[in-house]
DNA sequence: CGCCGAATTGACACGGTTCAATTGAGGTGG
DNA sequence: CCACCTCAATTGAACCGTGTCAATTCGGCG
């Protein structure tokens, strides 16, 4: 069974990610492909993929964007992280307990069951490289959570936005979903505001400033970053340093 | 070998935490105790426990406080999470790669090697309950990271501070290190500011307001929270909902 | 063509920052 | 045991980044 040629918008975002992290053997590759092609669960925009405090089965996003968010009692709302194709839900701790936050579909989202990936993580001896790869996926996710904390805690609105957009480009590129800084942009300015910890109005103004300065273009559902290198240094963005640990040479 | 009576400030903070999560069998209990009593590594206040981008071995904090932080190029600094006795460093992803952020000792810190705990997590079949307990520890840590994001993104200075202090009380109580809202307080106002994403000046003023209103007392290295229930509702604090998942009854 | 949610704009208020002094408290050496 | 040093805590005043409120415009879709 030969590997199929991949289309620019194919449906194996996780395979792509893992390719960048580690070399899987044939069995592992097949396993991931089987997971990615298994029957999809579909959620329409605005529906809840999982509910805070309720158990749920681990899932892998194949298409569409979602987010994890928390609502405060008075209507304030914070998006904790954005989830794109290739992201896993509920694989952080292995035997994940209840969902720690709501997960909301931002567009139509299709997911597959990721229990088999969880098993591979648990019984790492059977699929050692896959397990290592998934651990890097998890570690990378943590790095992005830390980024979110830095953004909200110590950056100006302008820096926050630049930093987030660069991070998104970085993440999407890994999965073959961004080319030369251009990717689909399904986010409402209100959602973006809830991600960046800003008001919708100020989000709008900051977006305009970046546009005026020629750092980004927005149109028909796509966002394009220009002069990314300049932007990166403005926002102080550094890709996370991830490497498989060599168990022997710790310190 | 009978269980020793524990002093209020004993050196088995992780055992205490795990007791609250899951019931360990004798072997597992002994394993944890062996880890906790193994030779300590000592760090003096201000020294780095691990450096961003460098590999490090997993460690368990036995005494003292530390923090994970990131420095921006221009001197701004954000503390990502505070680490107290009973917290683990470097167990997030199993085969943790490089450190994602610096870890700095805020007081004198003594740690032990936690490799054996990591092994228990990896090969869960040998110590299933311990592994489950550690997974809850990891999940709880994630919940606190999410809390940090909510605080920084959507709360006022006043709420942030109340929320953080309550969370700390909650965490320390689990480990037998806080009684009726009172615990050691080694943090400088500047460090607190770097945690809350505020300036040191405003941190000072907010602290004073809480004091004036009778919500907290600070003196000789201890912090005491008063009228915690009121504070909890002011800050909207809810303890994380953690439960061992029952693999059979997902949805 | 008309509707509705999203994007945009302007004016104003305020939470929090910055800068610059001053006070306080713990530690050290003479 | 006091004088001194240093770092943390505290205070005041001016400034400014963002939030809020309230319209208005735009854009996609039935």
Taking only the tens place, the pLDDT of each residue in A140-153 is 999 999 999 999 99
Out of B55, B95, B146, closest to residue A80 by CB:
B146
What per-residue string of b and e applies to A42-70 under the rule 16 or more CB within 10 Å gives b?
Answer: ebeeeeebbebbebbbbbbbbbbbbbbbb
The residue whose two tokens read 């926002």 is A235
Question: pTM score, two decimals?
Answer: 0.94
Element (H, E) at B136: helix B128-154
Closest CA to A65 of A39, A89, A94, A85: A85
Asked if A55 and B138 come within 8 Å (Cβ–Cβ), the reply is no
Of B93, B86, B14, B89, nearest in space to B56 by CA = B89
* Average pLDDT of every residue of chain A: 91
User: pLDDT band at residue A185, thresholds of 50, 70 and 90?
Assistant: very high
- As a whole number, mean pLDDT of residues B205-221 equals 95
Residue of A nearest to B148 (CA): A149
Residue A111 bridge partners (DSSP): A41, A61
**pLDDT at residue A220 in the model:** 83
With an 8 Å Cβ cutoff, are B94 and A251 in contact?
no
- Give the gap in angstroms from C-alpha A7 to the nearest C-alpha of chain B: 32
Q: What is the dihedral of CA A120, A126, A129, A135, to 10 degrees?
A: 30
Which comes out higher in pLDDT, residue B85 or A93? B85
Q: How many residues does chain A have?
A: 251
Query: For residue A3, is pLDDT > 60?
Result: no
B117: closest CA of chain A, how far (Å)? 15
Per residue in A21-34, pLDDT (tens digit) is: 989 999 999 999 99
Extended strands (E) in chain B: 41-43, 48-50, 59-63, 66-71, 77-83, 88-89, 102-105, 109-113, 182-184, 216-219, 222-225
pLDDT, tens only, A24-72: 999 999 999 999 999 999 999 999 999 988 888 899 999 999 999 999 9
Residue B220: the pLDDT is 82
Read off the pLDDT of residues B44-58 as tens digits, 9 standing for 90 and up: 999 999 998 888 889
Alpha helices in chain A (DSSP H): 13-21, 26-37, 115-122, 128-154, 157-174, 189-196, 200-212, 228-235
Measured at the alpha carbon of residue B38, what is the angle toward residues B35 and B42, in degrees to the nearest 5?
115
Chain C bases closer than 7 angstroms to a protein Cβ:
6-11, 15-20, 26
Nucleotide with minimal C1' distance from the CA of A155 is D17
The candidate with the shortest Cα–Cα distance to A20, out of A169, A173, A165, is A173
* Residue-level pLDDT at A4: 43
Q: Which residue of B has its CA nearest to A143?
A: B100
Q: What's the pLDDT score for residue A94?
A: 61
């Amino acid at each position: 069974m030969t590997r199929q040629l991949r289309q620019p918008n194919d449906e194996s975002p996780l395979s792509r990610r893992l390719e960048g992290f580690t070399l899987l053997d044939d069995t592992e590759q097949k396993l991931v492909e089987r997971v990615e092609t298994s029957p999809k669960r579909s959620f329409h925009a605005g529906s809840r993929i999982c509910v805070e405090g309720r158990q749920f089965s681990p899932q892998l996003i194949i298409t569409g964007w979602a987010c994890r968010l928390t609502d405060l009692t008075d209507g304030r709302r914070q998006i904790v992280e954005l989830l794109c194709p290739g992201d896993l839900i509920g694989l952080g701790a292995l035997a994940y307990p209840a969902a720690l936050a709501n997960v909301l579909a931002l567009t139509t989202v299709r997911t597959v069951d990721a229990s088999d990936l969880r098993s591979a993580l648990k019984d790492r001896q059977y699929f050692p490289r896959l397990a290592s790869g998934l651990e890097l996926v998890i570690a990378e996710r943590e790095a992005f959570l830390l980024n979110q904390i830095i953004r909200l805690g110590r950056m100006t609105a302008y820096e926050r936005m630049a930093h987030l957009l660069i991070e998104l480009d970085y993440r999407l590129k890994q999965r073959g979903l961004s080319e030369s800084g251009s990717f689909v942009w399904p986010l409402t300015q209100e959602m973006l505001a809830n991600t960046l910890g800003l008001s919708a109005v100020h989000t709008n103004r900051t977006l305009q400033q970046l546009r005026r300065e020629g750092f980004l273009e927005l149109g028909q559902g796509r966002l394009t970053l220009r002069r990314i290198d300049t932007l990166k240094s403005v926002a102080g963005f550094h890709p996370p340093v991830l490497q498989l640990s060599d168990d022997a040479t710790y310190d």
